[in-house]
Amino acid sequence: MHALVPLLSESDLHDLRRARGMLESPGLAAQLANAVGAPMEYVFARRLPAPVTRLINSTTRKALEQSLRLATATLDADARNQPARSGVHAAAVATTGALGGAFGLFGLVLELPVTTTVILRSIADIARSEGEDLADPGATLACFEVLTMGGRSPRDDGAESGYFAARAVLAQQVAAAAEYIAAHGLVSNGAPAIVQLLAAIASRFSINVTKKVAVQSVPVIGAVSGATLNTLFMRHFQRMARGHFTVRRLERRVGAAAVREAYLALEPEDAAAA
């Protein structure tokens, strides 16, 4: 490690190892395949029909638009550093998954906005527990960033972090949207800066939604309930959120450069063991 890294205490490095272990863990696709006991190649070999993919994409976009206001509306922004109620939120999406799964694709249209809002609420709850000020537009939009994080892919360059790559993709859109919200508030989801950010997030989040729908549509996996898959879906994003906001907490304390250097210097096996 270089000169910047000693700014982090042993406790900080312990937290960073845990965060890296979460953020660079196997992606959602691998977790879904493992959950149903089938190889990824088998589960995702079939392409969903084009109309289904279009429905998922449009429903995801609408769900994000609806969630932008609702996810943090009933959270007390002043109650920072309080433990997150992750179990309650996981139980909630299990219920929506069970109800939505009973009605096929029609159920998805009704279920996804609710599930997305609950996931974002859980992410915001975790953010608050890590000291984020949810009154800050940047903190609120950082919750949406979590939806684009899927863990490391086998195709990832070993020299780069899947986590920092995901953050870099959205950096400009997040900054522009945060500046707009700070100046005008959430007066309109149709503002260009917000529209561009939601489009970028929706395009990535819908990939994960499509994977979940693909698993549910495989005939031999009919025994796996919507509740089980939704719980896995939620747990994945809770892990991403805990890792993401741990990194942001450390960045606020010692600076982004020091945290990034220490993160990238950690050996993969160290992170996995955390």
Per-residue pLDDT of the chain (274 residues; tens, 9 = 90+): 455 556 889 999 999 999 999 998 877 777 777 766 666 666 566 667 888 888 888 888 888 887 776 666 655 555 566 666 666 667 666 666 555 554 555 666 777 888 888 888 889 889 999 999 888 888 888 999 999 887 655 444 443 457 888 888 888 898 898 888 888 776 555 678 888 888 899 888 888 888 877 776 665 554 456 677 888 888 899 999 999 999 999 999 999 999 999 999 886 544 444 4
Question: What's the rounded Cα separation, in Å, for the pair 132 and 247?
Answer: 11
Question: What's the rounded Cα separation, in Å, for the pair 198 and 192?
Answer: 10
Q: Tokens at residue 87, please?
A: 């179990």
Instruction: Give the pLDDT score at 155.
Output: 47
Q: Taking the CA atoms of the chain, what radius of gyration do you get in angstroms?
A: 18
Residues in Cβ contact with 139 at an 8 Å cutoff, skipping those fewer than 6 apart? 127, 132, 133
Instruction: Give the pLDDT score at 263.
Output: 93
Question: What's the rounded Cα separation, in Å, for the pair 241 and 147?
Answer: 9
Question: What's the rounded Cα separation, in Å, for the pair 191 and 9?
Answer: 42
Residues in Cβ contact with 14 at an 8 Å cutoff, skipping those fewer than 6 apart? 274
The secondary element (H helix, E strand) that includes residue 20 is helix 10-23
Q: Tokens at residue 166, please?
A: 């995901």
Say what the pTM is.
0.81
- Residue positions counted in the chain: 274
